[in-house]
Protein backbone atom coordinates (compact mmCIF):
# COMPACT_ATOMS: atom_id res chain seq x y z
CA UNK A 1 0.00 0.00 0.00
CA UNK A 2 2.80 2.41 0.88
CA UNK A 3 4.53 1.52 -2.37
CA UNK A 4 1.53 2.58 -4.47
CA UNK A 5 1.22 5.91 -2.63
CA UNK A 6 4.82 6.81 -3.34
CA UNK A 7 4.38 6.02 -7.02
CA UNK A 8 1.33 8.26 -7.23
CA UNK A 9 3.20 11.13 -5.65
CA UNK A 10 6.02 10.80 -8.14
CA UNK A 11 3.60 10.87 -11.04
CA UNK A 12 1.97 14.04 -9.72
CA UNK A 13 5.33 15.76 -9.44
CA UNK A 14 6.22 14.77 -13.00
CA UNK A 15 2.92 16.11 -14.38
CA UNK A 16 3.28 19.41 -12.53
CA UNK A 17 6.76 19.87 -13.90
CA UNK A 18 5.58 19.20 -17.43
CA UNK A 19 2.73 21.76 -17.09
CA UNK A 20 5.10 24.37 -15.70
CA UNK A 21 7.53 23.85 -18.58
CA UNK A 22 4.69 24.21 -21.11
CA UNK A 23 3.48 27.49 -19.58
CA UNK A 24 7.01 28.95 -19.70
CA UNK A 25 7.34 28.07 -23.41
CA UNK A 26 3.95 29.69 -24.20
CA UNK A 27 4.90 32.88 -22.31
CA UNK A 28 8.17 33.14 -24.20
CA UNK A 29 6.36 32.65 -27.54
CA UNK A 30 3.86 35.44 -26.78
CA UNK A 31 6.64 37.80 -25.72
CA UNK A 32 8.47 37.30 -29.01
CA UNK A 33 5.25 37.98 -30.99
CA UNK A 34 4.57 41.30 -29.21
CA UNK A 35 8.06 42.68 -29.76
CA UNK A 36 8.71 43.95 -33.38
CA UNK A 37 11.66 42.56 -35.19
CA UNK A 38 14.52 45.05 -35.24
CA UNK A 39 15.18 46.72 -38.64
CA UNK A 40 18.53 46.66 -40.27
CA UNK A 41 20.37 49.90 -39.46
CA UNK A 42 21.27 50.63 -43.08
CA UNK A 43 17.69 50.10 -44.30
CA UNK A 44 16.32 52.43 -41.62
CA UNK A 45 18.81 55.15 -42.57
CA UNK A 46 17.84 54.89 -46.28
CA UNK A 47 14.12 55.24 -45.54
CA UNK A 48 14.77 58.29 -43.37
CA UNK A 49 16.72 59.97 -46.18
CA UNK A 50 13.90 59.33 -48.70
CA UNK A 51 11.27 60.89 -46.39
CA UNK A 52 13.43 64.00 -45.97
CA UNK A 53 13.82 64.43 -49.77
CA UNK A 54 10.01 64.14 -50.38
CA UNK A 55 9.25 66.73 -47.75
CA UNK A 56 11.88 69.13 -49.17
CA UNK A 57 10.55 68.78 -52.75
CA UNK A 58 6.95 69.51 -51.69
CA UNK A 59 8.05 72.62 -49.84
CA UNK A 60 9.93 73.88 -52.92
CA UNK A 61 6.85 73.69 -55.23
CA UNK A 62 5.23 77.15 -55.92
CA UNK A 63 1.58 77.65 -54.92
CA UNK A 64 -0.86 77.45 -57.84
CA UNK A 65 -2.74 80.74 -58.48
CA UNK A 66 -6.55 80.68 -58.11
CA UNK A 67 -8.50 80.22 -61.39
CA UNK A 68 -9.47 83.48 -63.08
CA UNK A 69 -13.04 83.97 -64.43
CA UNK A 70 -13.15 85.13 -68.03
CA UNK A 71 -15.99 87.67 -68.18
CA UNK A 72 -15.85 87.78 -71.99
CA UNK A 73 -16.51 84.07 -72.38
CA UNK A 74 -20.06 83.15 -73.50
CA UNK A 75 -22.27 81.35 -71.01
CA UNK A 76 -22.60 77.58 -71.26
CA UNK A 77 -24.97 76.32 -73.93
CA UNK A 78 -27.29 74.65 -71.45
CA UNK A 79 -27.62 77.76 -69.26
CA UNK A 80 -31.25 78.95 -69.52
CA UNK A 81 -31.50 82.61 -70.53
CA UNK A 82 -33.37 85.04 -68.35
CA UNK A 83 -37.08 84.92 -69.19
CA UNK A 84 -38.56 88.08 -70.71
CA UNK A 85 -40.42 90.29 -68.30
CA UNK A 86 -44.16 90.21 -69.02
CA UNK A 87 -45.84 93.56 -69.24
CA UNK A 88 -48.97 93.80 -67.12
CA UNK A 89 -51.63 95.47 -69.15
CA UNK A 90 -53.76 97.94 -67.28
CA UNK A 91 -57.52 97.20 -67.30
CA UNK A 92 -59.55 99.15 -69.84
CA UNK A 93 -61.12 102.27 -68.47
CA UNK A 94 -64.88 102.55 -68.74
CA UNK A 95 -66.05 105.44 -70.86
CA UNK A 96 -68.63 107.20 -68.74
CA UNK A 97 -69.81 109.19 -71.75
CA UNK A 98 -70.69 106.07 -73.76
CA UNK A 99 -74.38 105.03 -73.81
CA UNK A 100 -75.37 101.91 -71.82
CA UNK A 101 -75.77 98.56 -73.62
CA UNK A 102 -78.97 98.13 -75.55
CA UNK A 103 -80.27 95.32 -73.34
CA UNK A 104 -79.28 96.90 -70.03
CA UNK A 105 -81.96 97.76 -67.49
CA UNK A 106 -84.06 99.87 -67.75
CA UNK A 107 -83.85 99.49 -71.54
CA UNK A 108 -86.03 96.75 -73.05
CA UNK A 109 -84.63 93.56 -74.57
CA UNK A 110 -83.50 93.86 -78.18
CA UNK A 111 -85.44 92.06 -80.89
CA UNK A 112 -83.45 90.46 -83.67
CA UNK A 113 -85.50 91.27 -86.75
CA UNK A 114 -83.23 89.22 -89.00
CA UNK A 115 -83.79 85.99 -87.08
CA UNK A 116 -87.51 86.66 -86.65
CA UNK A 117 -87.43 85.68 -83.00
CA UNK A 118 -91.07 85.99 -81.93
CA UNK A 119 -90.26 85.41 -78.28
CA UNK A 120 -87.93 88.41 -78.15
CA UNK A 121 -90.57 90.66 -79.72
CA UNK A 122 -93.14 89.29 -77.29
CA UNK A 123 -90.98 89.96 -74.22
CA UNK A 124 -90.10 93.46 -75.39
CA UNK A 125 -93.77 94.17 -76.06
CA UNK A 126 -94.56 93.11 -72.50
CA UNK A 127 -91.82 95.41 -71.25
CA UNK A 128 -93.31 98.36 -73.12
CA UNK A 129 -96.88 97.49 -72.08
CA UNK A 130 -96.14 97.29 -68.35
CA UNK A 131 -94.53 100.76 -68.57
CA UNK A 132 -97.47 102.32 -70.39
CA UNK A 133 -95.75 102.63 -73.78
CA UNK A 134 -98.68 101.08 -75.63
CA UNK A 135 -97.72 102.22 -79.13
CA UNK A 136 -94.33 100.45 -78.92
CA UNK A 137 -96.00 97.41 -77.35
CA UNK A 138 -98.54 97.23 -80.19
CA UNK A 139 -95.72 97.37 -82.76
CA UNK A 140 -93.88 94.45 -81.12
CA UNK A 141 -96.99 92.31 -80.71
CA UNK A 142 -97.74 92.92 -84.38
CA UNK A 143 -94.28 91.55 -85.23
CA UNK A 144 -95.00 88.48 -83.08
CA UNK A 145 -98.27 87.85 -84.93
CA UNK A 146 -96.54 88.29 -88.29
CA UNK A 147 -94.22 85.42 -87.31
CA UNK A 148 -96.68 83.40 -85.20
CA UNK A 149 -100.28 84.21 -86.24
CA UNK A 150 -101.56 81.46 -83.92
CA UNK A 151 -100.31 83.15 -80.73
CA UNK A 152 -103.46 83.86 -78.71
CA UNK A 153 -101.54 85.57 -75.93
CA UNK A 154 -100.07 88.10 -78.37
CA UNK A 155 -103.58 88.92 -79.61
CA UNK A 156 -104.78 89.36 -76.02
CA UNK A 157 -101.85 91.62 -75.05
CA UNK A 158 -102.24 93.73 -78.17
CA UNK A 159 -105.99 94.01 -77.51
CA UNK A 160 -105.24 95.16 -73.96
CA UNK A 161 -102.83 97.79 -75.37
CA UNK A 162 -105.44 98.99 -77.90
CA UNK A 163 -107.99 99.18 -75.09
CA UNK A 164 -105.74 101.43 -73.01
CA UNK A 165 -105.03 103.57 -76.09
CA UNK A 166 -108.80 104.07 -76.49
CA UNK A 167 -109.01 102.04 -79.72
CA UNK A 168 -111.91 99.90 -78.45
CA UNK A 169 -112.93 98.44 -81.85
CA UNK A 170 -109.40 97.12 -82.44
CA UNK A 171 -109.25 95.84 -78.89
CA UNK A 172 -112.50 93.87 -79.37
CA UNK A 173 -111.15 92.50 -82.69
CA UNK A 174 -107.95 91.24 -81.02
CA UNK A 175 -109.82 89.73 -78.05
CA UNK A 176 -112.11 87.94 -80.50
CA UNK A 177 -109.10 86.67 -82.52
CA UNK A 178 -107.60 85.25 -79.31
CA UNK A 179 -110.90 83.49 -78.55
CA UNK A 180 -111.00 82.04 -82.06
CA UNK A 181 -107.67 80.37 -81.30
CA UNK A 182 -108.62 79.37 -77.73
CA UNK A 183 -112.33 79.52 -76.93
CA UNK A 184 -111.65 78.82 -73.24
CA UNK A 185 -109.44 81.89 -72.86
CA UNK A 186 -111.17 83.42 -69.82
CA UNK A 187 -108.95 86.53 -69.71
CA UNK A 188 -109.85 87.32 -73.33
CA UNK A 189 -113.57 87.07 -72.47
CA UNK A 190 -113.05 89.33 -69.49
CA UNK A 191 -111.07 91.85 -71.57
CA UNK A 192 -113.66 91.94 -74.33
CA UNK A 193 -116.39 92.36 -71.72
CA UNK A 194 -114.51 95.38 -70.33
CA UNK A 195 -114.30 96.89 -73.82
CA UNK A 196 -118.05 96.38 -74.37
CA UNK A 197 -118.81 97.86 -70.96
CA UNK A 198 -116.64 100.91 -71.69
CA UNK A 199 -118.61 101.38 -74.92
CA UNK A 200 -121.89 101.10 -72.95
CA UNK A 201 -122.86 97.74 -74.49
CA UNK A 202 -123.80 96.14 -71.18
CA UNK A 203 -125.63 93.14 -72.57
CA UNK A 204 -122.55 91.90 -74.45
CA UNK A 205 -120.36 92.80 -71.49
CA UNK A 206 -122.56 90.76 -69.13
CA UNK A 207 -122.52 87.83 -71.59
CA UNK A 208 -118.70 87.85 -71.73
CA UNK A 209 -118.30 88.16 -67.96
CA UNK A 210 -120.72 85.30 -67.44
CA UNK A 211 -118.85 83.12 -69.96
CA UNK A 212 -115.53 83.93 -68.23
CA UNK A 213 -116.98 82.90 -64.84
CA UNK A 214 -118.24 79.65 -66.32
CA UNK A 215 -114.64 78.83 -67.24
CA UNK A 216 -113.11 80.15 -64.00
CA UNK A 217 -115.73 80.53 -61.23
CA UNK A 218 -113.08 81.82 -58.79
CA UNK A 219 -112.13 84.89 -60.87
CA UNK A 220 -112.86 87.67 -58.39
CA UNK A 221 -112.27 90.47 -60.90
CA UNK A 222 -114.76 88.92 -63.35
CA UNK A 223 -117.35 88.77 -60.54
CA UNK A 224 -116.83 92.45 -59.72
CA UNK A 225 -117.02 93.38 -63.42
CA UNK A 226 -120.26 91.42 -63.85
CA UNK A 227 -121.82 93.08 -60.80
CA UNK A 228 -120.83 96.54 -62.07
CA UNK A 229 -122.17 95.85 -65.56
CA UNK A 230 -125.52 94.73 -64.16
CA UNK A 231 -125.76 97.79 -61.91
CA UNK A 232 -124.66 100.19 -64.64
CA UNK A 233 -127.23 98.79 -67.04
CA UNK A 234 -130.01 99.56 -64.55
CA UNK A 235 -128.84 102.76 -62.86
CA UNK A 236 -126.22 104.39 -65.04
CA UNK A 237 -122.49 103.89 -65.04
CA UNK A 238 -121.54 107.09 -63.21
CA UNK A 239 -123.80 106.58 -60.20
CA UNK A 240 -123.06 102.87 -59.91
CA UNK A 241 -119.27 103.21 -60.05
CA UNK A 242 -119.26 106.16 -57.65
CA UNK A 243 -121.39 104.42 -55.05
CA UNK A 244 -119.93 100.94 -55.51
CA UNK A 245 -116.25 101.74 -55.35
CA UNK A 246 -116.75 104.32 -52.62
CA UNK A 247 -118.65 101.88 -50.40
CA UNK A 248 -116.21 99.02 -51.00
CA UNK A 249 -113.12 101.18 -50.45
CA UNK A 250 -111.61 99.97 -53.74
CA UNK A 251 -109.84 101.88 -56.45
CA UNK A 252 -111.66 101.69 -59.79
CA UNK A 253 -109.20 100.28 -62.36
CA UNK A 254 -111.39 101.33 -65.32
pLDDT tens-place string over residues 182-211: 999 999 999 999 999 999 999 999 999 999
Largest CA distance in the chain: 178
- Interatomic CA distance for residues 126 and 115, integer angstroms: 19
pLDDT at residue number 100: 45
Do 154 and 145 meet the contact criterion of CB atoms below 8 Å apart? Answer: yes
Mean pLDDT within 27-54: 56
Phi and psi, residue 101, nearest 5°: -55, 155
Confidence check: pLDDT of 251 > 90: no
pTM: 0.51
Reported as a single tens digit per residue, the pLDDT across 92-128 is 565 555 544 444 445 555 555 444 689 999 999 999 9
pLDDT at residue number 64: 57
Do 140 and 118 meet the contact criterion of CB atoms below 8 Å apart? Answer: no
Do 117 and 137 meet the contact criterion of CB atoms below 8 Å apart? Answer: no
Q: Which residue has the higher pLDDT, 238 or 118?
A: 118
- Interatomic CA distance for residues 214 and 219, integer angstroms: 10
Reported as a single tens digit per residue, the pLDDT across 47-101 is 566 666 656 666 555 565 666 655 565 555 555 555 555 555 555 565 555 544 4
**Sequence-ordered list of residues with C-beta below 8 angstroms from that of 3, at least 6 positions apart, any chain:** none
Confidence check: pLDDT of 221 > 60: yes
Do 157 and 136 meet the contact criterion of CB atoms below 8 Å apart? Answer: no
pLDDT at residue number 250: 45
Confidence check: pLDDT of 253 > 50: no
pLDDT at residue number 117: 83
Banded model confidence at residue 41, pLDDT cuts 50, 70, 90:
low
Mean pLDDT within 228-245: 67
Mean pLDDT within 15-22: 58
Reported as a single tens digit per residue, the pLDDT across 133-162 is 999 999 999 999 999 999 999 999 999 999
Task: Please give the C-alpha separations between residue 58 and each of 51, 64, 65, in angstroms, as whole numbers.
Answer: 11, 13, 16
Amino acid sequence: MKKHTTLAAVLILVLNGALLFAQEDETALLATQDEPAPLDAALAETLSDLDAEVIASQAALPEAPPPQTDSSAPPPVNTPPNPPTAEIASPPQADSSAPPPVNAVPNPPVADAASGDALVYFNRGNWYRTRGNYDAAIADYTQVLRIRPDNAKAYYNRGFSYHNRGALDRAIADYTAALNINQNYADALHGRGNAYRTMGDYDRAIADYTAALNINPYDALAKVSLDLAQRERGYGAFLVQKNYWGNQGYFNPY
